[in-house]
């Protein structure tokens, strides 16, 4: 009898208006194999707990068994939307350890393909964010243009998604004869479509009502959580490694760092994070045009690629501005052709950690938009 009374007491202390529900791990709104354990009071979100690991494949442990060259295809599979950008900080780290200075043509080619991949990433991010808000047509527009970019990257590398194109000391293959003109044609298409998307989606009154004042991330919280990329810049913080730590030849280009300005809603909301990505596409177009104009025609992009890589004992950390944020690799070498330890710092993993902080107090339907505004890819979150 006493046991029954104790159980009745416990149940009476529970808040009967609250319930816990699962979003994912296999759900079209989760942008990958992610499970969100959500506590709601009616339709108001009171707590969010992300559960990770559904896509974990021991990337860092695999690297301890692979040679330095063999690791590059595995890196592609982290942020599989931005494979070109993934490879860059990794090869830069090894080039720093080996004291290799790559030819200027390689530097410019790396900039061009990485900025093309940045545009392709943001096209997916903005298109799927529009889907989350109920807009389907922008998705078709952006995927049409993204295909033009993929065709160029496929001609260069032979692959449409996982490129394996960067090499320590160079690139896997040189450009083809019509490369420069095709890139400039794509830039023109991107600008035309972005102008259409501004009217069709960005300044659409329904879209603004769904995204403005939703998921507000203050600069202080963003910095404290270690956020980077468009998530941080959407909160008004003008931090971009391409400018602030100008690696490669980025110091030779004239471009701006877009930040959230509160033009619609407030600085740091979901609309501003989305707007930063649209503006970054224009800045990528500016960088590509300058790189095409400055890139030398002469030069062998494969000449300095070593046949076998043995890194001297030591350690190195190198990072770069990935489309989703700060991507870094910490490598510990024991003097062999395989790393003793490789640690990846993925922007998606860090940016996702802020979800519980910026989701409380909003409607459950807003949670889907907040998650979409972060632009995560689970291959980089879980690794």
pLDDT for position 56 = 87
What is the Cα–Cα distance from 244 to 251, expressed in whole angstroms?
9
pLDDT at 119 over 90: yes
Quick check: 4 pLDDT over 70? Answer: no
Taking only the tens place, the pLDDT of each residue in 323-368 is 999 999 999 999 899 999 999 998 999 999 999 999 998 998 899 9
pLDDT per position as a tens digit, 259-272: 999 888 899 999 99
Q: Identify which of 106, 107, 86 has the alpha carbon closest to the alpha carbon of residue 329.
A: 86
Q: State residue 16's pLDDT score.
A: 59
1 has pLDDT over 80 = no
- List, for residues 155-193, the tens digit of each pLDDT value: 999 999 999 999 999 999 999 999 999 999 999 999 999
In degrees rounded to 5, what are phi and psi of residue 15? -85, 105
Rounded Cα distance between 65 and 71, Å, is 9
Contact 381, 52 (CB under 8 A): yes
- Interatomic CA distance for residues 377 and 369, integer angstroms: 15
Q: How confident is the model over 13-70, as pLDDT tens digits?
A: 455 578 888 887 877 767 778 888 999 988 899 999 999 888 888 888 998 999 999 9
3-state secondary structure of 366: helix
Q: What's the average model confidence in pLDDT over 99-110?
A: 94
Tens of pLDDT along 208-218? 999 999 999 99
Tokens standing for residue 237: 């913080």
Please give the mean pLDDT across all residues of the chain: 90
Q: How confident is the model at residue 34, as a pLDDT? A: 87
Model confidence at 5: pLDDT above 60:
no
In the chain, domain spans:
50-382
SS3 187: helix
**Per-residue confidence (pLDDT) for residue 375, from 0 to 100:** 87
Tell me which of 1.10.645.10, 1.10.3720.10, 2.30.30.240, 2.120.10.30 is the CATH number of domain 50-382: 1.10.645.10
Rounded Cα gap, residues 205 and 46, in angstroms: 28
- Asked if 274 and 211 count as a contact pair (C-beta separation under 8 A), the reply is yes
Place of tokens 């994070």: 273
pLDDT above 80 for 12: no
In the predicted model, what is the mean pLDDT of residues 131-151?
92
Tens digits of residue pLDDT in 297-320 = 888 998 888 888 888 999 999 999
Please, is 229 exposed, middle or buried when counting C-beta atoms within 10 Å of its C-beta (0-12, 13-18, 19+)?
buried
């Amino acid at each position: 009898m006493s046991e029954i009374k104790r159980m009745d007491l416990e149940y009476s202390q529970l808040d009967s208006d609250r319930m816990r529900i699962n979003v994912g791990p296999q759900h079209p709104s989760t942008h990958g194999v992610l499970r969100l354990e959500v506590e709601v009071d009616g339709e108001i979100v009171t707590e969010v707990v992300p559960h990770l690991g559904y896509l974990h494949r021991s990337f860092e442990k695999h690297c301890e068994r692979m040679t330095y060259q063999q690791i590059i295809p595995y890196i592609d599979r982290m942020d599989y939307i931005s494979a070109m950008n993934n490879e860059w900080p990794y090869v830069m780290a090894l080039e720093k350890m080996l004291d290799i200075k790559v030819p200027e043509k390689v530097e410019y080619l790396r900039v061009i393909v990485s900025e093309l991949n940045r545009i392709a990433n943001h096209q997916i991010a903005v298109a799927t964010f529009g889907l989350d808000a109920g807009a389907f047509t922008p998705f078709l527009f952006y995927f049409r243009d993204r295909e033009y970019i993929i065709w160029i990257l496929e001609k260069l590398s032979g692959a449409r998604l996982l490129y394996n194109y960067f090499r320590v000391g160079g690139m896997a293959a040189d450009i083809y004869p019509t490369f420069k003109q095709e890139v400039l044609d794509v830039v023109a298409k991107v600008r035309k479509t972005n102008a259409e998307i501004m009217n069709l989606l960005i300044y659409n009154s329904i879209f603004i009502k769904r995204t403005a004042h939703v998921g507000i991330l203050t600069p202080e919280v963003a910095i404290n959580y270690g956020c980077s990329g468009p998530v941080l810049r959407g909160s008004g913080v003008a931090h971009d490694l391409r400018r602030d730590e100008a690696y490669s030849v980025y110091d030779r280009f004239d471009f701006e760092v877009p930040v959230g300005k509160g033009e619609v809603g407030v600085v740091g909301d979901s609309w501003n994070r989305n707007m930063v990505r649209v503006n970054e596409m224009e800045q990528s177009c500016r960088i590509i045009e300058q790189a095409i104009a400055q890139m030398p025609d002469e030069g062998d992009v494969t000449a300095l690629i070593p046949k076998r890589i043995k890194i001297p004992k030591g350690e190195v950390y190198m990072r770069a501005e990935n489309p989703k944020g700060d991507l870094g690799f910490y490598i510990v070498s024991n003097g062999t052709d395989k790393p003793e330890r490789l640690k990846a710092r993925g922007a998606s993993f860090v940016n996702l950690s802020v979800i519980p902080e910026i989701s409380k107090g909003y409607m459950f339907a807003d949670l889907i938009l907040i998650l979409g505004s972060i632009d995560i890819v689970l291959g980089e979150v879980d690794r």
